[in-house]
């Protein structure tokens, strides 16, 4: 098949740069000085027998991080970031991930390399076999498996544009076979540029045969982790490939299919045998060394290069019979892998030719990619110290490879702990959803982001799906419950009839009528508020009665937010948010209106700026707290207390900038969960039950936390919230954080989350 005219056909153009990617990355757990740990797998993580993202490789210390299949490089790296963040912060804070392919110094006794303590005994037996067959030390090397799938529409278009093949499955399989063979032939090219295991650490070889270090890649050399020589599998045709593997297993040369450690595997169904009936769906590149200079072991540029390389391997024709072609590649790669990292490669001319051909390929297909990466490869070709192996070797010379690994590892560890409330990769989403996703990844839920802007997730576990919006809107509540809560009049009627104390009040849908009703409220303490709103907008409190003008202004303010308002009895006391999940109060929070404390030197404006400097304060619910604003509302509240923005409050004087206590308007959150006795919590639970709510924020006024809840006027229910913020409970300004997101997961999957 003459493939180049097909690939240059303009019909193919929109699909060439589309692909699906997935990464599996192994990493050893080490101490912060880079010593292999002796601890068990982190308990916080969900069971690795079924965990979709976090598993164990050979050893108990060897984490395997697996991304979902993604449609773009950026999405791939978001997931890499999120899974790394979750792994780091689920491990003992004294531990971190080793950023290199070659393990740190191994134990003196081989037996002290602990085989992964998996639940499934078959898995343990398999690892015991590997230990016997290859030795435990060799299994301790780590790397990246890169799964790559061409866009399916591209292959379909290609099929339409050729005439040689009548069978689409066969065509698709042969496409991947060609790429696989070419990859096997040219993989010395990636070994030269991205090989990153120049040196071994103590006891890796332990007296066995070893290369003359430094090299380009121990892992990709004959001294690396590969099958015994009697394992021979051809890539001539899919039938022969499948047959060979099956025969190797039958003959006992492989214990299982998965022991086939080729640099490229063809992937389709669950087992190799499936490839007899199904086309190859993607290929797995297994020869990528960990790049210690990258937090996730591989750079975006490397992935982008691999994509173009895959296309190029499809484009470029083979120049020998399949088995010879592959065998030549094996020889070349072994040569390059064992070269000194600072030496010019023996494949220098061939590498230059490939780069020129790649440039030609890009030009002919008109691929909209920068050729900067090829310029870089050329520089690296001329200057081996710029290759990964070269850099690692040179940096190791300054101290040691162990030191380099520890230092790099520590920098990634620090980054993961720097803002422990965020989930790297998804920091643009609302914080509650970030925390929720963290917990879901940790416990082993499959997550799909159905709509990022809308914080809309799909969770899968135990073969069951749940949809979740904002981390707290779920199938556990009924449709009518949030509609009841949204309508404060309806909420109050229902609660009042159920025997709860709620503020008396009146509803107005007519602004004039509300104004005229002043007389009825003139001597009463009242709250004027929009009938339905969130975040405390448009609310005015008159704790000591209101004059007619102020009342009228409050009415107008409330009407700006809604077309109906409530004028309600003001219940004296402090308002607390009780967060009810299922039949329990999981957190109680005191919210203090936006405030600053004077130091006798700085103006209010300056104090606000200082307080806002805290990285915990941000905007739009992406951080645990919100920045204090200096808008009309704040100036109004200050003026009422006799302050201006440039007033300088006295030492220790607390100045409030808001009447309302919402965290959304810069308030402080103070956890009070343990301060309340069970009787108040029971009241909140019963409030939620009266509204048939499974997840709900109950706002309760309590004048005296220590008075029993049955004391007259001990409490009043102000309202119930159907979309209560969770992150302010998880990371309060003061007090203990409460992991509500995990409680929601438990509510959704009581048997899955322990």
Whichever of 13 and 293 has its CB closer to a copy of itself, that residue is 13
The one segment of 67-75, 148-156, 486-494, 670-678 that binds a copy of itself by CB under 8 A: 486-494
Q: Is 370 in the site for a copy of itself (CB under 8 A)?
A: no
How far apart, in whole angstroms, are the C-alpha atoms of residue 190 and residue 84?
25
Give the shortest CB-513-to-a copy of itself separation in angstroms: 13
Q: Which two tokens stand for residue 38?
A: 């002796």
Whichever of 481 and 661 has its CB closer to a copy of itself, that residue is 481
Whichever of 343 and 513 has its CB closer to a copy of itself, that residue is 513
Looking at residues 14 to 53 of the shown chain, list those that interact with a copy of itself (rule: CB under 8 A): 14
DSSP 734: B
The one segment of 83-91, 384-392, 398-406, 477-485 that binds a copy of itself by CB under 8 A: 477-485
Question: Using the rule CB under 8 A, which residue among 255, 299, 487, 511 binds a copy of itself?
Answer: 487
Q: Is 231 in the site for a copy of itself (CB under 8 A)?
A: no
> Which three-class secondary structure string do you get for 21-59?
EEEEEEEEEEECCCCECCCCCCCCCCCCCCCCCEEECCE
Asked whether the beta carbons of 546 and 552 are under 8 A apart, the reply is no
The one segment of 285-293, 322-330, 376-384, 463-471 that binds a copy of itself by CB under 8 A: 463-471
- Does residue 191 sit in helix, strand or coil? helix
Q: Give the C-alpha distances (Å, rounded to integers) separating 471 from 548, 614, 618.
A: 43, 25, 19
Question: Using the rule CB under 8 A, which residue among 170, 474, 603, 682 binds a copy of itself?
Answer: 474
How far apart, in whole angstroms, are the C-alpha atoms of residue 508 and residue 488?
12
Whichever of 493 and 639 has its CB closer to a copy of itself, that residue is 493
Question: Using the rule CB under 8 A, which residue among 335, 473, 609, 648 binds a copy of itself?
Answer: 473
Q: How many Å is the Cα radius of gyration of the chain?
A: 32
The one segment of 262-270, 276-284, 324-332, 480-488 that binds a copy of itself by CB under 8 A: 480-488
Give me the residues paired with residue 565 across strands. Answer: 508, 530
Question: Using the rule CB under 8 A, which residue among 148, 542, 578, 722 binds a copy of itself?
Answer: 722
Q: Give the C-alpha distances (Å, rounded to integers) separating 495 from 490, 687, 697, 713, 729.
A: 9, 7, 14, 15, 25
Looking at residues 492 to 531 of the shown chain, list those that interact with a copy of itself (rule: CB under 8 A): 493-494, 509, 520
Q: Give the C-alpha distances (Å, rounded to integers) separating 553 from 414, 537, 549, 550, 560.
A: 51, 14, 6, 5, 11
Question: Using the rule CB under 8 A, which residue among 347, 377, 404, 484 binds a copy of itself?
Answer: 484
How far from chain centre, in Å, is Cα 130? Answer: 32
Q: Where do the H-state alpha helices sit in 383-452?
A: 388-398, 401-418, 431-443
Whichever of 145 and 506 has its CB closer to a copy of itself, that residue is 506
Whichever of 288 and 484 has its CB closer to a copy of itself, that residue is 484
* H-run or E-run covering 306: helix 300-315
Looking at residues 392 to 451 of the shown chain, list those that interact with a copy of itself (rule: CB under 8 A): 450-451
Whichever of 376 and 496 has its CB closer to a copy of itself, that residue is 496
Question: Using the rule CB under 8 A, which residue among 405, 482, 624, 735 binds a copy of itself?
Answer: 482
The count of residues interacting with a copy of itself (CB under 8 A) is 33
Q: Is 564 in the site for a copy of itself (CB under 8 A)?
A: yes
Looking at residues 643 to 702 of the shown chain, list those that interact with a copy of itself (rule: CB under 8 A): 692
Q: Which two tokens stand for residue 31?
A: 């101490």
The one segment of 124-132, 388-396, 464-472, 595-603 that binds a copy of itself by CB under 8 A: 464-472
Question: Using the rule CB under 8 A, which residue among 212, 252, 368, 453 binds a copy of itself?
Answer: 453
Whichever of 148 and 722 has its CB closer to a copy of itself, that residue is 722
Give the shortest CB-69-to-a copy of itself separation in angstroms: 14
* Cβ atoms < 10 Å from Cβ of 710: 9
Whichever of 298 and 748 has its CB closer to a copy of itself, that residue is 748
Q: Is 490 in the site for a copy of itself (CB under 8 A)?
A: yes
Q: Give the C-alpha distances (Å, rounded to integers) separating 103 from 26, 27, 63, 299, 569.
A: 11, 9, 12, 20, 69
Whichever of 67 and 481 has its CB closer to a copy of itself, that residue is 481
How far apart, in whole angstroms, are the C-alpha atoms of residue 376 and residue 737?
48
Q: Which residue has the tokens 């045969």?
A: 209
Give the shortest CB-487-to-a copy of itself separation in angstroms: 6
122 by Cβ neighbours in 10 Å (0-12 / 13-18 / 19+) ranks as exposed
Asked whether the beta carbons of 33 and 197 are under 8 A apart, the reply is no
Q: Is 467 in the site for a copy of itself (CB under 8 A)?
A: yes
How far apart, in whole angstroms, are the C-alpha atoms of residue 199 and residue 341?
10
Question: Using the rule CB under 8 A, which residue among 112, 120, 399, 478 binds a copy of itself?
Answer: 478
Residue ranges that bind a copy of itself, judged by CB under 8 A: 14, 450-451, 453-454, 456, 458, 466-469, 473-484, 487, 489-490, 493-494, 509, 520, 564, 692, 722
């Amino acid at each position: 098949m003459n493939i180049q005219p097909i690939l240059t056909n303009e019909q193919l153009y929109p699909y060439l740069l589309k692909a699906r990617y997935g990464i599996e990355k192994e990493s050893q757990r080490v101490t912060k000085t880079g010593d292999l740990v002796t601890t068990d797998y982190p308990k916080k993580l969900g069971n690795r027998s079924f965990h979709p993202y976090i598993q164990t490789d050979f050893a108990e210390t060897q984490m395997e991080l697996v991304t979902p299949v993604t449609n773009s490089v950026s999405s791939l790296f978001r997931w890499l970031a999120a899974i790394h963040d979750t792994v780091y912060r689920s491990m003992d804070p004294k531990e971190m991930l080793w950023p290199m392919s070659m393990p740190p110094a191994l134990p003196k006794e081989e037996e002290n390399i602990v085989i992964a303590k998996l639940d499934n005994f078959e898995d343990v037996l398999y690892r015991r076999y590997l230990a016997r067959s290859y030795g435990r030390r060799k299994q301790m090397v780590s790397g990246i498996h890169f799964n790559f799938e061409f866009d399916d529409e591209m292959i379909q278009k290609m099929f339409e544009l050729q005439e040689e093949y009548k069978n689409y499955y066969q065509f698709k399989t042969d496409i991947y076979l060609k790429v696989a063979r070419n990859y096997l032939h040219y993989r010395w090219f990636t070994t030269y540029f991205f090989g990153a295991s120049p040196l071994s650490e103590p006891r890796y070889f332990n007296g066995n045969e070893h290369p003359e270090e430094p090299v380009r890649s121990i892992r990709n050399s004959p001294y690396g982790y590969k099958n015994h020589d009697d394992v021979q599998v051809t890539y001539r045709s899919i039938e022969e490939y499948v047959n060979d593997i099956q025969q190797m297993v039958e003959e006992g040369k492989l214990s299982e299919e998965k022991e086939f450690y080729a640099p490229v595997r063809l992937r389709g169904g669950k087992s190799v045998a499936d490839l007899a009936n199904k086309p190859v769906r993607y290929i797995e590149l297994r020869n990528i060394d960990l790049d210690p200079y990258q937090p996730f072991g591989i750079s975006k540029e490397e992935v982008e290069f691999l994509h173009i390389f895959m296309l190029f391997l499809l484009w470029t024709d083979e120049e020998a019979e399949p088995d010879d072609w592959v065998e030549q590649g094996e020889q070349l790669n072994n040569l390059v892998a064992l070269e000194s990292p600072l030496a010019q490669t023996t494949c220098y001319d061939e590498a230059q030719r490939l780069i020129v051909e790649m440039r030609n390929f890009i030009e002919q297909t008109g691929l909209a990619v920068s050729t900067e990466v090829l310029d870089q490869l050329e520089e690296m070709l001329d200057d081996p110290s710029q290759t990964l192996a070269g850099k690692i070797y040179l940096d190791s010379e300054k101290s040691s490879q162990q030191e380099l690994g520890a230092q790099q590892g520590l920098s990634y560890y620090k980054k993961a702990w720097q803002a422990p409330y965020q989930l790297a990769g998804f920091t643009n989403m609302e914080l509650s959803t970030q925390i929720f996703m963290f917990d879901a990844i940790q416990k082993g839920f499959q997550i799909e982001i159905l709509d990022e802007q809308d914080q809309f997730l799909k969770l899968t576990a135990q073969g069951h799906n749940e949809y979740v919006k904002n981390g707290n809107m779920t199938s556990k509540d009924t449709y009518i419950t949030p509609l009841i809560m949204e309508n404060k009049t309806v909420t109050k009627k229902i609660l009042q009839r159920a025997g709860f104390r709620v503020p008396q009040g009146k509803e107005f849908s007519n602004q004039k009528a509300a104004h005229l009703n002043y007389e009825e409220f003139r001597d009463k303490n009242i709250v004027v508020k929009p009938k339905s709103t969130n975040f405390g907008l448009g609310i005015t409190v008159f704790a000591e009665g209101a004059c007619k003008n102020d009342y009228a202004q409050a009415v107008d303010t409330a009407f700006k937010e809604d077309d109906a308002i409530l004028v309600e009895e003001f219940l004296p006391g402090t308002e607390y948010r009780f967060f009810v999940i299922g039949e329990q109060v999981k957190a109680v929070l005191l919210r203090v209106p936006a405030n600053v404390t004077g130091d006798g030197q700085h103006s209010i404006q300056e104090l606000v700026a200082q307080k806002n400097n805290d990285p915990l304060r941000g905007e739009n619910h992406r951080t645990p707290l919100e920045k204090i604003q200096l808008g009309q509302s704040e100036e109004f509240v200050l003026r009422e207390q006799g302050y201006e923005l440039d007033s300088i409050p006295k030492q220790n004087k607390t100045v409030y900038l808001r009447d309302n206590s919402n965290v959304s308007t810069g308030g402080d959150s103070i956890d009070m969960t343990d301060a309340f006795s069970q009787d108040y919590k029971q009241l909140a639970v019963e409030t939620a039950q009266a509204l048939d709510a499974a997840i709900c924020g109950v706002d309760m006024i309590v004048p005296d936390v220590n008075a029993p809840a049955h004391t007259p006027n001990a409490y009043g229910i102000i309202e119930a919230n159907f979309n209560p913020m969770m992150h302010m409970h998880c990371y309060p300004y003061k007090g203990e954080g409460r992991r509500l997101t995990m409680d929601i997961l438990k509510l959704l999957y009581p048997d899955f989350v322990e």
